[in-house]
A and B are shown apart, each in its own frame.
Chain A
């Protein structure tokens, strides 16, 4: 997909299963849907340096992969990713059943960013990296679009409306979280993202340690810690714990476990009291309040 500084909308993968449209100057929407019958010609090539990509994945945020019938592994991921198009290859978005993309020209997004003075923040060289769980407003919007039939005369209007809405919500979130980072090196950013993705795959185990992560990123520990925090607004450790507890919540509700202790053990929390305490710290309620017992 990424050929030098050019990106073409994923033609190879998306062939016969995607819908592409220019929403307004500087804003393009792409729907990748494997149930889509009609093929839309995709030969749009844009200069990656000029765009941000916002990627929304509706498939389950936590994959449960069964290995050998007995061992189970969890692959957690964030449903919403915004990056410079040049950095897109740092993420390998799964072309699952359904995903929604916005391609946003940098000058357009810059127009909607508030600086600390309240005025628009100018300059096109700012890096934006934003990965998150999808907010419910955006999710509902895209879910609604998903129920639409591509052959309906109203589909184009609906896609236009949805894209603008999703873009508006994105603008709000970026402004709330002050995600404009100034100029960051592409390589550094990609390396940091790589470690974040790694962390998401290791949620059952213990925190791999800053030394290891920094080594993985090819940076000094202090540089790694600083950069990670700058991009994701929290330390690697607290990011890891938060995601671990998100997974814990999913598992508690899944109905696949007989006791809360089993869930704790699955995630490597051997002291029930500690698990309950940090869980309550994040969600404001005890694991027992959401736990669904295995009915088998």
Chain B
């Protein structure tokens, strides 16, 4: 497995380092990586003194373990991730598969060192924004988040900023439109800068709507919740184990577990479990190997109509319509 230690920052002095650690080199805005590790586009652009954006659109040909070791504390990262394939979180040397985690938006503090493995064969498409904390704070204060709350969130001694979420459909559309452009073309840097601002605008809108909650989290708590999610993923085809059992597994009271779970993931465990089930249902439906009735049975839905109902409310179309549209 290729191990890549790297750091980020708004200032782009880290780009060269990342290139070298990937066994490659920097050419203009591109990072050129040897073909046996990955193929595709690795591109960085500093947009202003406060914002830098990185585009990674690659296919991995080896397992790559990324180890983030930031040395600067002055920025936060916002990651939009459309990776298809298994992503494995590594924390305190324990790997946790978050393959079906389905979060594709992460906001993290530069202080938090999260390691992860990307499996060979994964198709990765990600937009990373690095922005100075003071500017993020400025944006957030405009949304009406109280100063007192912001003080706590940005208090480096206490905790770190971390949030995982689903990207909004609007962000997804913005990125999808952007994907039509050609890296290196004359208008590319303009489009990439435009993309960064549009995505930031959308993030801010969602924070306004409280669909993204900016909050802090303890490292140990994060590990617990990661564990808990991993176990939920393993039981994905079965019946929801219940809060009591999950809380016991995580060595917490049910109240604390529920609160923490929601704080970190923005969802209840039950919703996470159901949504993952539905995503799985969609994938299996896409494989064409199951009828809807068989799926309902396989995934432990109480009835076919229950599956259809949930599927429709989550995806906006019934499984039947989805299957027909394939």
Contact = CB atoms under 8 A, between A and B. Distances in A.
A161 B204 CA distance: 13
A153 B208 contact: yes
A157 interface: yes
A171 B197 contact: no
A168 interface: yes
A91 interface: no
A157 B190 contact: no
A158 B198 contact: yes
A164 interface: yes
A163 B195 CA distance: 11
B186 interface: yes
A126 to B, nearest CB: 16
Identify whether the interface residues of B are mostly helix, strand, loop, or mixed. Answer: helix
Contacts of B41: none
A171 B187 contact: yes
Given A154-B202, A157-B201, A112 B187 contact: yes
A161 B129 CA distance: 14
A164 B178 CA distance: 12
A152 interface: yes
A168 B191 contact: yes
B143 interface: yes
B211 to A, nearest CB: 13
A150 interface: no
Contact of A164 (B181, B197, B200): B197
A212 interface: no
A31 to B, nearest CB: 15
Interface size class of A (residues with CB under 8 A): 20 to 34
A158 B197 contact: yes
B191 A165 contact: yes
Interface in A111-128: 112, 114
B267 interface: no
Nearest to B139: A153
A164 B202 contact: no
A162 B198 CA distance: 7
Nearest to A175: B186
Contacts, number: 71
Contacts of B144: 153
A160 interface: yes
Interface size class of B (residues with CB under 8 A): 20 to 34
Contacts of A114: 186
A186 interface: no
Contacts of B202: 154
Given A153-B204, A154-B202, A164 B191 contact: yes
Given A153-B208, A154-B202, A165-B191, A160 B197 contact: yes
A153 B143 contact: yes
Interface in A165-200: 165, 167-169, 171-172, 175
A162 B194 CA distance: 6
A175 B144 CA distance: 43
Interface in B188-210: 188, 190-191, 193-202, 204-205, 208
B142 interface: yes
A55 B101 CA distance: 45
A161 B186 contact: no
A165 B201 CA distance: 14
Contact of B198 (A165, A167, A172, A175): A165
Contact of A172 (B186, B196, B200, B204): B186
Contacts of B195: 161, 165
29 contacts: A24-B48, A24-B193, A112-B187, A112-B190, A153-B143, A153-B144, A154-B200, A154-B202, A154-B204, A154-B208, A155-B201, A157-B197, A160-B197, A161-B194, A161-B195, A161-B196, A161-B200, A162-B194, A164-B190, A164-B191, A165-B190, A168-B187, A168-B190, A168-B191, A169-B187, A171-B186, A171-B187, A172-B185, A172-B186
Interface of B: 48, 139, 142-144, 181, 185-188, 190-191, 193-202, 204-205, 208
